[in-house]
């Protein structure tokens, strides 16, 4: 028997527990943890926008504030997306566990275990990459302090090099410099954990959906065997009908699981898509402006933001592409079996599967976006188009 929670989503469980979003644990401590994490993420976005109140608002300054604030709102939306869909996430895991409990064939169990292993491996790689990236991002502002004893840099200069994200706390920022730095580093750690935990959880569910479609294809392959075709008796007729039924059943459950996955998060995903395009456009424009001013440190900050969003968007759309491919693979599998040698009653049943499979199963978000590599290219192109608009307006 397969336990999805402990065998396939163990690392995901640890990551979600760290930020209070694991759907099976809702104690008072976890509720306090969730409120605290969400408050820290939200406050950092608010303190960036408050800089617009106390500082003269020029076009460059507004773009500077918006490019970073909208990027950090990406963290807030991801966190809120899982927070409000905790019940749906628990239902998804329960559906998956129920489907796995019904699997009896050794080959089918091997298939779902293989995709579970892919989930663990993908989560481990992304988590390791996130830990290394977060450590480097946190280390960059502190690096001048490490070299201060060698280069004899005074503290005011260190602080001017350290604070890259413009904020307004309505306090003396030189006096409370280290508290502000602690706040920003805490936000980076919580935000990175949020992106990793929520992203890998959705990726894991999508990978398991691919596994369910692969099992459906496997069951279709097993419908017509040479032994059955050589002796079409009543027993074999019944076995053929049962195999067709089981193949259609797992295919229907896979489609239902996938539809529920995207329906649960489609509102937040639409907002994330919009934030992705806007943030990329503003950060590219900010890089252009800082390149003219020769501000290397600010360029590095915006490059990190662009790289994070591009990587997140690419992985999400790549998984969507794989999900569509696995969903559509059942048509070619059904067509390639020896359905033409089956009895007439079986051909009629298989015909319904072919008709359903001939329709391309695009996994769409609110009927507007289809997660795929083509969609990733479209979003990237749209971001560059808006950058061009900003550039022409600046001219």
Tokens of 319: 């998984």
Q: How confident is the model at residue 63 (pLDDT cuts 50, 70, 90)?
A: confident
The 10s digit of each residue's pLDDT in 65-124 is 998 999 999 999 999 999 999 899 999 999 999 999 888 889 999 999 999 999 999 999
Q: Cα–Cα distance between 317 and 388 in angstroms, integer?
A: 24
Reported in sequence order, the residue ranges of the chain that DSSP labels E, i.e. its strands, are none
User: In the prediction, which pLDDT does 342 show?
Assistant: 66
Terminal C-alpha separation, the chain:
65
The 10s digit of each residue's pLDDT in 143-187 is 656 555 545 555 554 454 544 688 888 888 778 888 888 899 999
pLDDT at 2 over 60: yes
User: In the prediction, which pLDDT does 163 show?
Assistant: 47
Whether residue 17 contacts residue 196, with contact meaning beta carbons closer than 8 Å, is answered with no
Whether residue 320 contacts residue 314, with contact meaning beta carbons closer than 8 Å, is answered with no
Tell me which residue of 64, 57, 24 sits closest to 286, measured CA to CA: 64
Q: Cα–Cα distance between 215 and 209 in angstroms, integer?
A: 10
Q: Cα–Cα distance between 214 and 240 in angstroms, integer?
A: 19
pLDDT at 360 over 80: no
The 10s digit of each residue's pLDDT in 288-321 is 888 888 777 778 888 888 999 999 999 999 998 8
Q: Is residue 293 classed exposed, middle or buried when 0-12, 13-18 and 19+ CB atoms within 10 A define those classes?
A: exposed
Answering whether pTM is above 0.75, one says yes
């Amino acid at each position: 028997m397969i336990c999805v929670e402990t065998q396939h989503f163990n690392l995901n469980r640890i990551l979600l527990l760290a930020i209070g979003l694991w759907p099976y644990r809702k104690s008072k401590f976890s509720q306090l943890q969730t409120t605290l994490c969400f408050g820290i993420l939200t406050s950092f976005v608010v303190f960036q926008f408050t800089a617009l109140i106390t500082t003269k608002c020029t076009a460059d300054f507004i773009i500077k504030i918006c490019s970073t604030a909208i990027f950090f709102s990406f963290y807030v939306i991801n966190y809120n997306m899982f927070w409000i869909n905790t019940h749906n996430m628990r239902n998804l895991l329960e559906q998956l566990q129920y489907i796995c409990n019904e699997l009896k064939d050794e080959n089918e169990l091997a298939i779902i275990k293989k995709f579970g292993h892919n989930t663990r491996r993908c989560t481990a790689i992304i988590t390791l990459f996130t830990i290394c990236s977060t450590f480097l991002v946190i280390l960059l502002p502190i690096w001048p302090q490490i070299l201060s004893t060698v280069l004899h840099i005074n503290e005011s200069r260190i602080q001017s090099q350290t604070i890259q994200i413009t904020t307004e706390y309505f306090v003396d920022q030189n006096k409370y410099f280290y508290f502000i730095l602690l706040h920003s580093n805490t936000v980076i750690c919580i935000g990175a954990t949020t992106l990793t935990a929520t992203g890998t959880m959705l990726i894991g569910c999508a990978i398991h959906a691919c596994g369910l479609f692969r099992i459906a294809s496997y069951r279709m392959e097993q419908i017509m065997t040479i032994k059955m075709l050589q002796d079409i008796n009543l027993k074999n007729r019944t076995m053929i009908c049962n195999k067709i039924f089981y193949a259609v059943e797992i295919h229907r459950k896979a489609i239902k699981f996938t539809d529920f996955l995207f329906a649960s998060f489609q509102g937040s995903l639409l907002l994330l898509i919009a934030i992705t395009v806007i943030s990329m456009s503003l950060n590219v424009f900010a890089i252009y402006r800082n390149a003219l001013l020769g501000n290397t440190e600010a360029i590095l900050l915006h490059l990190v933001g662009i790289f994070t969003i591009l990587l997140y968007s690419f992985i999400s759309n790549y998984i969507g592409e794989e999900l569509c491919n696995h969903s559509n693979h059942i048509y070619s599998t059904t067509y390639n079996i020896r359905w033409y040698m089956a009895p007439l009653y079986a051909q009629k049943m298989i015909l319904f599967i072919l008709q359903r499979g001939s329709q391309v199963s695009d996994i769409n978000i609110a009927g507007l976006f289809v997660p795929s590599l083509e969609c990733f290219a479209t979003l990237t192109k749209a971001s560059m188009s808006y950058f061009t608009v900003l550039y022409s307006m600046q001219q």
